[in-house]
Amino acid sequence: MTQEYKELLIKDLCARLPYNVICQVEFKEDGKYNSKVMLLSGIFTDKAYFTTKGGSIYSNEYKPYLFPLSSMTDEQEEEYNDLNSCELGCFPHTEEALDYLIKNHFDYRGLIPMGLAIDATGLNIY
């Protein structure tokens, strides 16, 4: 991952911390690489802190589960458009509209196509 991508992901996840972001986390345990779905609990410049019912870990290899904007239901799109000064597809112009996208785990930065996030559509993860 390039430094630019890492910084973009960290900026995005910092805004999502209050909203219980679920991530796919890669980590090494007892000499073996493991992968778990975990809750993001904190973020630092070089790694993030994740928790599950079974404990917690630090890792620098993770991807959040997010929804592409194209997966918005008609109801969600209507709610979003009521908060925003423009239709879905343009950048949110109000704080409320941006908060809506963040709170509902929508990928407004395009992290999924960059390979920095996992498409959560159909996974029932949230």
Q: 90 - beta bridge partners? A: 88
How does the average pLDDT of the chain come out, rounded?
Answer: 90
Instruction: Average the pLDDT over 8-37 and give the result.
Output: 92
pLDDT tens digit string along 68-106?
999 999 999 888 888 876 655 566 567 888 899 999 999
The SS3 of residue 68 is: coil
d(CA 61, CA 8): 14
The length of the chain in residues reads: 126
Question: Given pLDDT bands bounded at 50, 70 and 90, which one contains residue 53?
Answer: confident
Delimit the domains of the chain by residue range: 3-119
- Higher-pLDDT residue of 91 and 3 is 3
Instruction: Average the pLDDT over 7-11 and give the result.
Output: 94
Q: How many CB atoms lie within 10 A of CB 110?
A: 12
d(CA 71, CA 83): 18
Residue type for position 9: L
pLDDT at position 30 is 82
